[in-house]
Amino acid sequence: MKHILIRFFAVAALLGFAACNPDKTEWVSTTFDSPWTVQSIPAAKAENGAGECVVVDPAKTLQAVEGFGTCFNELGWTSLSELSEEDRTGIIRDLFSPEGLGLTMARMPVGANDFSVDYYSYDDTPGDLALEHFSIAHDERTLLPFIRAALAVRPDLRIWASPWCPPAWMKVNGHYANTSTLPIKQRFEQMMKNRSDRPDDVRATGGSSFGMNPAMLPDNGLPLDAQIREGQDAFRLEPEYLEAYARYFGKFIDAYRAEGIDIRMVMPQNEPNSAQWYPACTWTPEGLAQFIACLGPEMQKRGVEVWLGTVERADPEMWDRILTDPKAAYISGMGFLNPDGRTVLLLANKDVAPKTVSVELAGRVRAFELPAGSVNTLVLE
């Protein structure tokens, strides 16, 4: 039987839904001015004329559901740490215990991401290609206690990891971000001159405020002339840097295993086309294939899978350039962000493509059906 692995963010999972029972369905939204507001739910009709309804047809089977999951990040733990130990333990139990949501899988960042307390990596010593200063000590304050708390409730939790950014000194601009916050702030100021309301999201060069009031964005310190655009390799592609970064991944796996935490899978880069103002690193398909050629052997030695993703652009040709590159033969899975069905199917049906697919759903959910045989595993996050 083919397999589907389903993952959702904890916040989305906590909202829940009730099949065929609109009285138990609740839609909660948050904006700048109105946090946690209960909204009315638009009427929806099923094919049989009923109201809101989830229809399960046991006679029609494609893949099997393997599990549900969530993610770990620093701000998640600092928020939970504001609660009493009893309340915090209760939330962890609600998320991971069989009596609660029963989440069985989780993603974690490798170093800083957009939900970190600050910029950091596991080796911030410039030029340390030997990684003599590698350390996960930073995670002792946030990620490690978060994961340990979950493992205490769910010892068989399956964890995978993905970096948003390598150590800054491994990037061509020497900075954790790809783009400056200045264009976002400047565009916001210009928009405020032309309109009185505040936009929920102000897009600028290489990124957006992601719901944050752009006027409150700090200067990330990246000069405008040091920005790196989509379609450019932000990572230094010299062989010694590629090899050092692959060993960086290996040291990360080893260090977490020494803490009793087994990382089952890694992705080489979260959203490799997204030039963001927070920790980010863009790659070309050719550059990423070069790195996977170094990363694969390091992960093979440790029994860790390598997936391609998160695929955030609906451009099958772009990703096909990686999948057909012999150097990237170590890929055993793929991850998509808000994909359309066409992109997933065009890649999943290729002979060179892995049969394990992850889908991250953030915001809009696009409906599509994967025929039997197109994938073995589908992950919804």
Single out the residue of 295, 320, 151, 158 nearest to residue 235, CA to CA. 295
330, amino acid identity? Y
Enumerate the domain spans of the chain.
3-15+68-175+228-380, 181-219
- The rounded distance, in Å, linking the Cα atoms of 136 and 121 is 8
Half-sphere exposure of 275 (CA within 13 A, CB side): 23
- The rounded distance, in Å, linking the Cα atoms of 282 and 115 is 18
Residue 253 in this model has a pLDDT that exceeds 70 = yes
Q: Out of 43-52, 153-162, 370-379, pick the least confident.
A: 370-379
Q: Are 334 and 353 in contact (CB under 8 A)?
A: yes
Q: Are strands 331-337 and 305-311 parallel, antiparallel or unpaired?
A: parallel
Q: Can you name the residues that pair with 359 across neighbouring β-strands? A: 336, 380
SS3 label, residue 296: helix
Query: Does residue 205 or residue 153 have the better pLDDT?
Result: 153
Q: Which two tokens stand for residue 273?
A: 């086309």
- The rounded distance, in Å, linking the Cα atoms of 306 and 295 is 8
Single out the residue of 183, 177, 173, 146 nearest to residue 164, CA to CA. 177
Would you state the pLDDT for residue 54? 67
- The rounded distance, in Å, linking the Cα atoms of 305 and 23 is 43
- Write out the CATH class of domain 3-15+68-175+228-380: alpha beta
Computed over every residue of the chain, the mean pLDDT equals: 81
Query: Does residue 29 or residue 6 have the better pLDDT?
Result: 29
- The rounded distance, in Å, linking the Cα atoms of 196 and 282 is 35
- What are residue 122's phi and psi, to 5 degrees? -90, 0
The residue-averaged pLDDT of 194-212 equals: 48
Confidence of residue 45 (pLDDT cuts 50, 70, 90): low
Confidence of residue 1 (pLDDT cuts 50, 70, 90): very low
The residue-averaged pLDDT of 364-372 equals: 48
Exposed / middle / buried, residue 40 (Cβ in 10 Å: 0-12, 13-18, 19+):
exposed
Q: Which two tokens stand for residue 318?
A: 């772009």
SS3 label, residue 33: coil
Element at 105 (helix H, strand E): strand 105-109
Would you state the pLDDT for residue 364? 45
**33-43 pLDDT, tens digit each:** 777 788 877 66
Confidence of residue 116 (pLDDT cuts 50, 70, 90): very high
Residue with tokens 């090899």: 243
Q: Can you name the residues that pair with 65 across neighbouring β-strands? A: 4
**64-114 pLDDT, tens digit each:** 566 778 899 999 999 999 999 999 999 999 999 999 999 998 999 999 999
Query: Does residue 198 or residue 141 have the better pLDDT?
Result: 141
Residue 371 in this model has a pLDDT that exceeds 60 = no
Q: Give 257's contacts (C-beta < 8 A, 6+ positions apart).
A: 263
Q: Can you name the residues that pair with 159 across neighbouring β-strands? A: 106, 263
Single out the residue of 3, 149, 144, 143 nearest to residue 73, CA to CA. 143
Q: How many CB atoms lie within 10 A of CB 94?
A: 17
Residue ranges in 74-163 assigned as alpha helix (H)? 74-80, 85-96, 143-153
SS3 label, residue 93: helix
- The rounded distance, in Å, linking the Cα atoms of 146 and 77 is 6
The CA–CA distances, whole Å, from 160 to 45, 59, 246, 266 equal 38, 33, 16, 6
Q: Are 255 and 262 in contact (CB under 8 A)?
A: no
Compute the CA torsion angle 137, 143, 145, 146 (nearest 10 deg).
180
Confidence of residue 247 (pLDDT cuts 50, 70, 90): very high
Tell me, rounded to whole angstroms, the distance of Cα 236 from its chain centroid. Answer: 23
